[in-house]
């Protein structure tokens, strides 16, 4: 196993990690911005107002994206297992 293979495996792992985290992070960001705008317009400065909608939105995004996320993980794992003979050489 040479340096290029290790770097390729690491890059692929980082790519998969970012792909899996993106749906929840994007939804949390969008909901956070909407709540911040709502708080600025209504001048309600309640700190707990931001947490519950974000948690619910991220949970909904997780439930919706879960089949896709599982498919990405299974594909990555299968590719990793199929490449084991190449890494042993």
Contacts of residue 9, defined as CB under 8 A and 6 or more positions apart, other chains included, come to: 80
CA-to-CA separations, 43 to 37, 48, 58, in angstroms, rounded: 10, 14, 25
Out of 14-23, 31-40, 45-54, least confident range: 45-54
- Least confident interval from 6-10, 13-17, 59-63, 71-75: 6-10
What's residue 77's pLDDT?
Answer: 95
Task: Give the pLDDT of residue 46.
Answer: 81
- pLDDT 10s digits, 37-77: 998 898 888 878 888 999 999 999 999 999 999 999 999 99
């Amino acid at each position: 196993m040479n340096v290029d293979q290790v770097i390729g495996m690491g890059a692929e792992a980082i790519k998969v990690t970012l792909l899996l985290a993106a749906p929840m992070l994007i939804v949390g960001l969008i909901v956070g911005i909407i709540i911040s705008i709502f708080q600025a317009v209504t001048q309600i400065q309640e700190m707990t107002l931001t947490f519950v909608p974000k948690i619910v939105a991220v949970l909904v995004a997780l439930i919706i994206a879960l089949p896709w996320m599982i498919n990405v993980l299974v594909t990555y794992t299968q590719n990793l297992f199929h490449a084991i003979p190449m890494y042993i050489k």
